[in-house]
């Protein structure tokens, strides 16, 4: 292959890099608005594949007409990516509460064209190599291999290094700059280069102008789970008090008094009361650290030896720097399920408090995961799973399916709702291998200054009704699909509650 052929392979390589870069970055940019649920990811992947398919078809159609070489089409991706990415970044940074169904418009108009522009290059590069005397089969296999290699490298470097360090927007800018420099290596100076350079310049300028004022933020990073933000803001509950909130994809994960670390949410207190039915100083495992409210309470109030597992290192850094994480707590950056499989230790108390934004991960609540937790519980130990507060009707179906899964895995189970209204409360699934007495606690549950009974608050479980429901398994991960409607309600409520008080203030 001559020198020009190797240059075209370089174009194929950066096409593969671009596909993966824009796929990952687009999903990250939109996740603060629409969430990071399985449904959203599926829709994004479908748009990526559809765009590539259309691009391949358009490229082959160009070859069937009066083909005048590949050079004019090399300049298409940069302006298309720049325009579409700018609109998506604006949507991701400026819009907060728009219907998820608006993706049906945003996707085809601003996501699809990016991958059409990249995909049409592939058949054209194949043609360019064939014209140098190579067979069509050899050229096709070589181009797709090089393009795929570019995608693999971008998935590793971009997903694990560039996006966490630079952010999605600047990763796109870095790609555009690299792609434009590549066109100089392939084609002699032409008006197309000017268009590409202007695209990068406009993208960089508008990206700078769209930056949000970060003066109210203590932390703003991109982690494995998406956008991680810690902010201080005036308390709506107490005068002359500052609140501190941890957001993941704009969904509150921790909300505390900034000075004393006391939670404004009731469920951490419930978890502490439930833990007081166990002897002090036991071993506890908290899956899902968040802002460390639960782990801190168990350490301080119950003297427990706490191991905490957090998937996203950025969230762990936030807990250490901004939420008074106790030094005695052993922290692990790991997937909770993987930790359960690899840690050879049993616990008196296991708390599952895991969410991807507003969505629960199926693999942490499947019957196989519960079997792992069962093996990690000491005799008489308790497992408590935190979930959203809906129980009745269609929106409560995910909670009832979880309850049935717990029972079918061989646990005794009681469901305790916190005292708030259904849309604002939490459900705590309390499970054990022995019968559970919720009132056998050392600490009394106090609600608005009055002593309350956990037993009396617990919901009545009808095994006959629950047994007709499906069981969550690794092989059939249906929880996110069942939870999609419920998660929309939670996301809408959070965004409406906080956007004016927090996001509106930092624009």
Distance CA 343, CA 340 (A): 6
Domain of 473, CATH number, reads 3.40.50.150
Full 3-state SS string of 61-123: HHHHCCCCCCHHHHHCHHHHHHHHHHHHHHHHHHCCCCCHHHHHHHHHHHHHHHHHHHHCHHH
Number of domains observed in the structure of the chain? 2
Q: What is the pLDDT of residue 505?
A: 43
Residues 134, 270 within the same domain: no
- What domain range is 354 assigned to? 263-502
233 located within any domain: no
DSSP state for residue 158 in the 8-state scheme? I
Task: Pick the last residue of a domain from 175, 209, 243.
Answer: 209
**Three-state secondary-structure class, residue 438:** coil
Residue whose token pair is 């965004």: 495
Residue 135 CB neighbour total at 10 angstroms: 10
Q: What is the pLDDT of residue 90?
A: 87
Residues 267, 125 within the same domain: no
Q: What is the pLDDT of residue 30?
A: 84
Provide CB contacts within 8 A for 174, sequence distance 6+.
162, 166
Q: What is the pLDDT of residue 122?
A: 92
Domain of 125, CATH number, reads 1.20.1250
Distance CA 245, CA 215 (A): 15
pLDDT tens, position by position, for the chain (507 residues)?
555 456 788 899 999 999 999 998 888 888 877 777 777 788 899 999 999 999 999 988 888 766 667 778 888 899 999 999 999 988 887 776 677 788 889 999 999 999 999 999 999 899 888 888 888 899 999 999 999 999 999 999 988 888 878 888 889 999 999 999 888 888 877 888 888 889 999 888 888 777 665 556 899 888 877 889 998 888 776 777 888 999 888 788 899 998 888 899 999 999 999 999 999 999 999 999 999 999 999 999 999 999 999 999 999 999 999 999 999 999 999 999 999 999 999 999 999 999 876 678 889 999 999 999 999 999 999 999 999 999 998 889 999 999 999 999 999 999 999 999 888 899 999 999 999 999 999 999 999 889 999 999 999 887 667 888 999 999 988 888 888 877 777 777 766 666 555 544 443
Residues 419, 310 within the same domain: yes
Q: What is the pLDDT of residue 507?
A: 37
> For residue 317, how many C-alpha atoms fall within 13 Å in the half-sphere facing its CB?
13
Residues 403, 489 within the same domain: yes
Distance CA 474, CA 364 (A): 9
Residues 197, 276 within the same domain: no
């Amino acid at each position: 292959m001559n020198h020009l052929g190797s240059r075209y392979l370089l174009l194929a390589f950066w096409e593969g890099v671009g596909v993966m870069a824009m796929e990952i970055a687009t999903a990250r940019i939109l996740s603060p608005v629409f969430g990071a649920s399985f449904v959203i990811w599926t829709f994004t992947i479908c748009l990526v594949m559809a765009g590539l398919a259309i691009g391949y078809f358009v490229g082959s159609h160009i070859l069937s007409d009066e083909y005048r070489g590949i050079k004019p089409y090399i300049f298409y991706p940069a302006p298309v990516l720049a325009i579409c990415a700018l609109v998506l970044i604006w949507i991701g940074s400026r819009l907060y509460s728009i219907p998820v169904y608006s993706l049906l418009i945003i996707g085809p108009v601003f996501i699809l064209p990016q991958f059409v522009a990249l995909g049409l290059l592939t058949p054209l590069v194949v043609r360019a190599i064939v014209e140098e005397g190579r067979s069509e089969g050899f050229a096709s296999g070589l181009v797709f291999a090089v393009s795929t290699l570019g995608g693999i490298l971008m998935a590793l470097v971009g997903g694990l290094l560039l996006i966490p360090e630079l952010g999605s927007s600047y990763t796109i800018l870095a790609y555009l700059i690299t792609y434009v420099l590549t066109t100089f290596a392939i084609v002699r100076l032409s008006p197309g280069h000017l268009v590409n350079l202007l695209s990068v310049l406009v993208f960089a300028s508008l990206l700078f102008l769209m930056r949000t004022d970060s003066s109210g933020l203590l932390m703003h990073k991109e982690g494995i789970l998406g956008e991680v933000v810690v902010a201080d803001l005036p308390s709506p509950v107490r005068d002359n008090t500052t609140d501190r909130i941890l957001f993941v994809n704009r969904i509150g994960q921790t909300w505390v008094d900034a000075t004393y670390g006391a939670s404004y949410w009731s469920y951490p207190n419930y978890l502490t009361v439930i833990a007081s039915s166990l002897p002090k100083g036991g071993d506890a495992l908290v899956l899902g650290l968040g802002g460390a409210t639960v782990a801190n309470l168990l350490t301080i109030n119950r003297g427990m030896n706490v191991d905490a597992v957090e998937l996203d290192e950025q969230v762990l850094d936030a807990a250490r720097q901004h939420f008074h994480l106790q030094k005695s707590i052993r922290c692990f950056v790991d997937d909770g399920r993987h930790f359960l499989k690899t840690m050879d230790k049993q616990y008196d108390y296991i708390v599952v408090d895991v969410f991807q934004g507003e969505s629960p991960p199926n693999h942490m609540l499947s019957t196989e995961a519960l079997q792992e937790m069962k093996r990690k519980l000491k005799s008489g130990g308790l497992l408590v799973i935190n979930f959203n507060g809906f129980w009745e009707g269609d929106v409560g179906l995910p909670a009832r399916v979880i309850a049935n899964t717990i029972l079918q895995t061989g646990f005794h189970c009681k469901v305790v709702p916190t005292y708030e209204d259904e849309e604002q409360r939490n459900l705590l699934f309390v499970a054990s291998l022995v019968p559970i007495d919720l009132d056998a606690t050392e600490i009394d549950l106090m609600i608005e200054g009055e002593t309350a009974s956990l037993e009396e608050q617990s919901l009545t479980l009808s095994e006959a009704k629950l047994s007709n429901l499906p069981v969550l398994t690794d092989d059939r991960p249906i929880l996110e699909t069942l939870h999609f409607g419920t998660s929309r309600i939670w996301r809408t409520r959070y965004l409406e509650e906080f956007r004016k008080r927090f996001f509106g203030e930092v624009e």
